[in-house]
């Protein structure tokens, strides 16, 4: 059975998040001042690390990154974009 899990991301260039194999993106957004990634997961699957990257608007991007989603900060005019390197 699949469920939605939330992962709180750091405002960091690169981070590795452990999640079940086959997890897919449901949403990227801000919640209570935190950048979050909601994933559709099957908790019975083995976990693996996924390399995620957070970039602000106007920041340089590597050609090897895949776009996952964007979020607008609630109290500031900043937009954060989340990418993954597979």
- Per residue in 27-69, pLDDT (tens digit) is 999 999 999 999 999 999 999 999 999 999 999 999 999 999 9
Going from N- to C-terminal start, the domains of the chain cover 3-85
The 3-state secondary structure of the chain reads CCEEEEEEECCCCCEEEEEECCCEEEEEEEECCEEEEEEEECCCCCEEEEEEEEEECCCCCCCCCEEEEEEECCCCCCEEEEEEEC
- CA-nearest of 56, 49, 77 to 12 is 56
Sheet strand arrangement including 15-20: 15-20, 47-56, 79-85, 66-72
pLDDT of residue 77: 87
* Average pLDDT taken over every residue of the chain: 95
Instruction: Spell out the residues 6+ positions from residue 86 whose beta carbon is closer than 8 angstroms to its own.
Output: 66
Give me the pLDDT at residue 75, please. 83
Q: Taking the model in full, what pTM does it have? A: 0.92
């Amino acid at each position: 059975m699949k469920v939605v899990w939330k992962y709180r991301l750091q405002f960091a260039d690169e981070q590795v998040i452990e999640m079940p194999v086959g997890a897919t993106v449901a949403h990227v957004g801000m919640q209570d001042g935190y950048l979050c990634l909601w994933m559709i997961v099957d908790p019975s699957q083995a976990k693996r690390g996924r390399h995620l990257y957070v970039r602000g608007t106007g920041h340089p991007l590597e050609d090897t990154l895949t776009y996952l989603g964007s979020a607008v900060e609630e109290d500031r005019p900043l937009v954060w974009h989340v990418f993954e390197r597979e």
